[in-house]
Structure 1
């Protein structure tokens, strides 16, 4: 039941933003009583925290463990966040958008939790065996890509989407080469 409730909250976040998340509306969409909902999630904040925790868990599962080959974490970060092909904005598969909406809408405690997780990810990126500035630039590009997508601020689409992703992939390759000394600027 917990996953069914969180699935509904994710759909509602994508479709209507945080204002759409009302306990009675979530219970109705999930097909559970309000009491059943409250058994698992005591508040709107708890619902959003549950969504964020689940998204972070899913994202973590796509990332390689510490000690992987140089650049593996940053490559996985890119692969897990910017798909090879453009997908329509507001698609339910837009899991990063769901996580961002939950983090931004869940209140200061939920946002603080996401910030702590992000710091840990940034530490992993910085220690990924790449030129640190390359890893940071890739992260910032990914963050900007998602912000533009989430707010519909002219995100890259179609061929431009593929070109941007290819450029980021090339930056990763260059960063690996700079770190191991095989490429000299």
Structure 2
């Protein structure tokens, strides 16, 4: 039941944004009683935190171990977020982006939680065997891409999307790739 509730919350976040997350609406859409939802998530904040933590865990599971070849972490960061071709919204990268957007709107506690993860991820990027500036530039470009996409602020589309993604991929490569 917990996963069904989180799946429904993610879907609502992707399709309608953070304002659509109301306990009664999530319960109804998930096909559970409000009491059942409250058993797992006592507040709206706890529900959003559950989504964010589950997606952070899935994102971290996708990332390679520290013993990976140079650039592997940066390329995985890029691959997990920006598809190689321009695809309709609602893909995994969009789910991660929506979780991050939800965290941003979830108040200082959620930002603190996310900052802790970002500090670890930034350290891994900076020590990924690439120029730390290039690896960080990839991360910042990814962050800008998802923000533009989730907020529909003129996200790059079509050939421009593909060209930008290819440029970021080049930044995430070593001379030996």
Counterpart-to-counterpart distance in 2, 1:155 and 1:98: 15
Structure 2, unmatched stretches of 5+, are none
- Aligned Cα root-mean-square deviation (Å): 1.3
Counterpart-to-counterpart distance in 1, 2:130 and 2:71: 6
Asked whether the equivalents of residues 11 and 92 of structure 1 are also in contact (C-alpha less than 8 Å), the reply is no
Asked whether the equivalents of residues 14 and 92 of structure 1 are also in contact (C-alpha less than 8 Å), the reply is no
Structure 1, unmatched stretches of 5+, are none
Asked whether the equivalents of residues 14 and 95 of structure 2 are also in contact (C-alpha less than 8 Å), the reply is no
TM-score (norm 1): 0.90
CA displacement at 1:101 relative to structure 2 = 2.5
| Structure number, greater radius of gyration | 1
SS in 2 for 1:123: helix
| Runs of 4+ off more than 6 Å | none
CA displacement at 1:106 relative to structure 2 = 1.9
TM-score (norm 2): 0.94
Q: Which residue of 2 aligns with 1:20?
A: 20
Query: Does 1:162 find its partner at 2:162?
Result: yes
Counterpart-to-counterpart distance in 2, 1:22 and 1:105: 14
CA displacement at 1:92 relative to structure 2 = 5.5
| Number of residue equivalences | 175
Query: Does 1:59 find its partner at 2:59?
Result: yes
